[in-house]
């Protein structure tokens, strides 16, 4: 079955909302290997609360770290070390949505990055970008890093207020397929996620 790794051009760009939309649209399973901080309300809990279908399975994190820091630092302060060989994808019968922590070059330990984990898991990337000053640079660097490592990219999702001139340039320069846009919503709830998941373009842009 397909594995899609949801990563972003940085932190707080909308990976979790994008993951919820994809889980709902594809009736996929969900797994976040590393949760750093917010253990009272993890990203797994958030996605599960936003998904309406009853088929999706939500797997436990491999590492649950107490501090909202980069994984290698959070692990250090928790008195542990992230061992990549311990991060084993769950057995799944449906498409698996894997959500990363932070961006591609976030360290998991002293010599292993998030992008290395993507390669290890043999997953296809869906890149989430958000429009802010500097986002072109961050998006292009992310796309280049994936390309240099021969990691396949399914496409790009833009989050937030549209900025056409920015998005057109990013799409043209990177050649990434545009999947969909998440707009600024007054409320993010199950109905919001269902609205995006039901869009006809979802069927043509992403493998079912």
Q: Answer for the pair 32, 42: CB distance below 8 angstroms, yes or no.
A: yes
Q: Is 119 a catalytic residue?
A: no
98 contact partners, CB below 8 Å, separation of at least 6 = 3, 4, 5, 6, 31, 32, 33, 89, 121, 123
Please list, in sequence order, all residues whose beta carbon lies within 8 angstroms of the beta carbon of residue 167, skipping any fewer than 6 positions away.
Answer: 131, 158, 178
Beta strand 153-159 pairing with 178-182: parallel
Provide the β-strand partners of residue 31. 98
Catalytic residue among 32, 130, 172, 190: 32
Specify the length of the chain in residues: 208
Q: Where in the sequence numbering do the catalytic residues fall?
A: 32
């Amino acid at each position: 079955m397909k594995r899609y790794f949801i990563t972003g051009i940085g932190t707080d760009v909308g990976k979790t909302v994008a993951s919820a939309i994809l889980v709902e649209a594809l009736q996929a399973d969900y797994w976040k290997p590393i949760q750093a901080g917010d253990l009272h309300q993890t990203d797994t809990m958030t996605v599960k609360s936003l998904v309406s279908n009853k088929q999706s399975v939500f797997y436990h994190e491999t590492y649950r770290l107490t501090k909202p820091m980069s994984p290698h630092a959070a692990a250090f302060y928790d008195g542990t070390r992230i061992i990549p060989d311990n991060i084993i994808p769950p057995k799944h019968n449906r498409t698996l949505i894997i959500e990363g922590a932070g961006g591609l070059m976030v360290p998991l330990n002293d010599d292993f990055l998030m992008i290395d984990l993507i390669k290890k898991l043999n997953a296809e990337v869906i890149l989430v970008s958000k429009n802010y000053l500097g986002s072109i640079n961050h998006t292009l660097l992310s796309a280049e890093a994936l390309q240099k490592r021969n990691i396949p990219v399914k496409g790009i999702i833009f989050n937030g207020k549209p900025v056409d001139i920015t998005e057109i340039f990013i799409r043209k320069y990177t050649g990434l397929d545009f999947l969909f846009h998440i707009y600024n919503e007054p409320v993010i709830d199950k109905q919001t996620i269902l609205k995006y998941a039901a869009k006809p373009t979802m069927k043509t842009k992403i493998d079912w």
